[in-house]
Structure 1
Amino acid sequence: MPTDPGPPLLYLVHRIPWPPNKGDKLRSFNILRQLAERHRVYLGCFADRAEDMAGAEHLGEWCAEVHVERLRPLPARLASLRGLLTGEALSLPYYRSAAMRRWVGEVVERADIRRAMVFSGPMAQYLEARVGLGNAVIDFCDVDSAKWTQYAEHRRGPMAWLYRREGERLLAFERAVALRARAALFVTAAETELFRKLAPDTSACVGVMQNGVDAGYFSPAHVFPEPWEQGGPTVVFTGAMDYWPNIDAVCWFATEVLPRLRVLVPGVRFYVVGMNPAPAVRALAAPDVVVTGAVPDVRPYLAHASAVVAPLRVARGIQNKVLEAMAMGRAVVVSAAAASGLAGEHGRDWLAAGDARAFGECLTALLAAPATGAAIGAAARRTVEGHYSWSAHLGMLDRLLDADGDGALPAAGAAGAPCPAGAPA
């Protein structure tokens, strides 16, 4: 906590921001550090893994108070089905808790809290009767409703219907929240414009707050031993491997791209680096496909990768895994979806591939010419240093939450000021 912590602030997060070891946690944790510079932060969050409950002790460094509730995914999924009866998005009852609602009410009154920061749309449901959406900044990160609609395109039968329904109902909730909040933020200009297209009446209510990366931690200046014994060209993917878009990405790459690559680049190996690999991911393991599971540090794998891939077919916003690889000075081949909103240029700072053939061609070129990969990696590092500083992006929160400020969104990527507090939904 800073010496002069400033006014109290309620910070609600759908997943505890510790340890900051995956995309949403990295963003929510860095937001917490930014908020703590000028506020006494009262953090309310859920933990969907038992081992994450201990994170409250670590977060005390930045918080006046931390309230963590254990969220058990299976019971939460069953509870979410109530949405079929109430007509609401299933994501809302999934994160609904009487205990969390009681804590919010008690801490708001006890600490006289007048402002709130909300990370992830469903957590906004806890503000209605207390702080109020008009006094809150909402970080949607991505257009989650569009994510569910994308999921529906990869499903059939009842699941496709359920995902489409979730997309429609969640969009209605996101729209209502955006119209009433002090400000509503997304991670890229592309996500912001998508939301404006889906909910045109929110055009003046939303803005952009980009992701960042710790370029000192993820830096090619650090020296690491090779994490593998066998030499030869290596292609690396990093990410939480129980997350469906990541599962889909590596399975697609292993079945559609890797067979082509084996012919063109003999001896190539594919490393899938990340915690909690799903059964479909573990099944990919082969002499030239290594599924590591959780590792203490992903940087050695990035540092010694011949190339890094992000072949996500379903992707929303800027991928932290891509920024981390770029910060490490690695050449990255991304899908069109993962390239959306990414600073830099194809062919100079990163390579984008639209299909399996293009992925194979890009990787073959990189692995055959290490100097080309090194040049792209160096350019990628410069792009990260110039465009992806956490402090530069998150500094806008101070003004948006300022009790005396007008709450105007920044000119870059925004179309005016947010909607007035209490605007009709």
Structure 2
Amino acid sequence: MKILFVAPWIPAPVRPRSLVIMKLLNERHDVRFLGLAKDDAEAVLAAKLPVREAPVLVHNPTAGSLARTAVALGTGASLQTGYANPGRLTAELKRLIAEWRPDAVHLNVFRTAHLVEECGDTPVIIDLDEFRSEYYEQLAETGPNVAWRMIGRVEQRRMGAREAELVRMGVPIILSAPALTGELPPNTFVVRSPYDYTPQPRQPQPRPTVLFVGRLTYEANVNGLMWFIRECWPQIRRAVPAALLRIVGEAPPKDIQALAGDDIEVIGDVPSVDPYYAAADVAIAPIFRGTGIQMKVIQSLAAEVPTVTTRMVAARAGVADGVHVRTADDPAGWVAATSALLANPADARRMAAAGREWAVANHGTDAVRAQLAAAYRSLSTPIPQQRRRLAQWSQTSH
């Protein structure tokens, strides 16, 4: 099969889902890439992509993206698609379809959702990763300030309408996680984020070490981490006086950097997280707002590190409290869960082994390869049959 892979960015190790899915597709298919690049550094990344022919890139500087986002505010379009909608992207898409005649177009994330109709009669599959409008609904209700809450209200409505339209159209949709409640529409397929990890030899530390790994440019990470430090960490320190909190993540903001001291270590960005997982006694993911599956949880489970997270994050991943992870939502629960894992290494190791087994079974390359193949088989289902299934689902789910 000839697959045209279209993305609003360059798949790279910092965007592992799109990069690994492209690699899996390229194992069995002829894949070409069309994407946006904002600068020369991203063009260099594109040259390393796992495709046979040179990628087709459309220059997309940040200033232009922000200008289109501002225009989208007045047009009713999603801000996300406005950000990634230079006119030349559509022109190159149509050119490649006409000249190369792919068997399918793979659209990567919601920012490319405006391109579905531009593909004409060529079958389309879109990896939304998640129904992202839910995140903006959460942001509208609990955003950190008025500006974020306003963006949430605007984007939730616009993005949600487009997601619902894609479902009604019967476009095959890839999601990274099953539904929390109810049944997914028949044109949706769970393809989890691929993550293979060989646990590193344990590196015992002189102090019990709690690890946070995550992008510190993501407000949900920052807010959750600050909540943990403010509401939980002092009590954990009283229970385990020698405990150390180690924070590893890209671009830590000044308020997190300022917390560095005897009991908190701020590392910042690193070339590899391997040594930090090997040195961790417990990993934390205090995330209270978000959708899909938190990559940091997949990583810590695959690395066989005992993990504490919120009930929401655990439910979305499909892991069980006390079996694969420990869960909590309030300070008392977080303090108890984290302190217990630090104080009982044998119990912590048993839970970590179960977490590792779950990660391999659900997110290992072999598992994801089979999930992706099932999604692509849907492209051969006749449109009338797809619409009948969708109509039946709509009747039974409402």
TM-score (norm 2): 0.89
Mean Cα deviation higher: 307-316 or 249-258:
249-258
Assess, with a 3 A threshold, how the Cα gap between structure 1 residues 165 and 65 changes in structure 2: closer, same or farther.
Answer: same
Assess, with a 3 A threshold, how the Cα gap between structure 1 residues 342 and 398 changes in structure 2: closer, same or farther.
Answer: closer
Note the aligned Cα RMSD (angstroms): 2.7
List alignment gaps of at least 5 residues for structure 1.
1-6, 197-202, 409-413, 421-425
Q: Measure, in 2, the Cα distance between the counterparts of 1:206 and 1:90.
A: 24
Partner SS, residue 126 of structure 2: strand
Match of 1:300 in 2: 275
Aligned residue runs from structure 1 range 398-409, under 5 A: 398-402=373-377, 405-406=380-381
Assess, with a 3 A threshold, how the Cα gap between structure 1 residues 394 and 47 changes in structure 2: closer, same or farther.
Answer: farther
| Preserved CA contact (<8 Å) 2:307 2:325 | yes
Partner SS, residue 232 of structure 2: helix
Match of 1:200 in 2: none
Q: Measure, in 2, the Cα distance between the counterparts of 1:415 and 1:386.
A: 32
1:30 pairs with 2:23:
no
1:152 pairs with 2:127:
no
Q: Which amino acid aligns with 2:358?
A: T
Assess, with a 3 A threshold, how the Cα gap between structure 1 residues 224 and 104 changes in structure 2: closer, same or farther.
Answer: farther
Match of 2:178 in 1: 189
| Preserved CA contact (<8 Å) 1:205 1:416 | no
Cα deviation for residue 157 of structure 1 reads 3.5
What do the CA deviations read for 1:300-341 (whole angstroms, capped 9, x no partner)? 101110100001111211222111111111100011221123
Match of 1:392 in 2: 367
| Preserved CA contact (<8 Å) 1:407 1:417 | no
Match of 2:115 in 1: 126
2:248 pairs, out of 254, 261, 273, with 273
Match of 1:316 in 2: 291
Q: Measure, in 2, the Cα distance between the counterparts of 1:71 and 1:191.
A: 36
1:256 pairs with 2:244:
no
Mean Cα deviation higher: 358-367 or 150-159:
150-159
Match of 2:4 in 1: 10
List alignment gaps of at least 5 residues for structure 2.
393-398
Aligned residue runs from structure 1 range 1-400, under 5 A: 7-18=1-12, 20-21=13-14, 25-47=15-37, 51-59=41-49, 61-73=50-62, 75-131=64-120, 135-155=123-143, 156-190=145-179, 193=182, 203-214=185-196, 218-220=197-199, 222-223=200-201, 231-400=206-375
| Preserved CA contact (<8 Å) 2:177 2:192 | yes
What do the CA deviations read for 1:362-399 (whole angstroms, capped 9, x no partner)? 01111111112111111211222333223323434335
What do the CA deviations read for 1:190-237 (whole angstroms, capped 9, x no partner)? 26849x6xxxxxx333232223320xxx223x33767xxx72011101
Query: Identity rate of aligned residues, in percent?
Result: 24
Q: How many residues align?
A: 389
Partner SS, residue 107 of structure 1: helix
RCO higher in 1 or 2 (8 Å CA, sep ≥ 6)? 1
Assess, with a 3 A threshold, how the Cα gap between structure 1 residues 402 and 335 changes in structure 2: closer, same or farther.
Answer: closer
Q: Measure, in 2, the Cα distance between the counterparts of 1:387 and 1:245.
A: 25
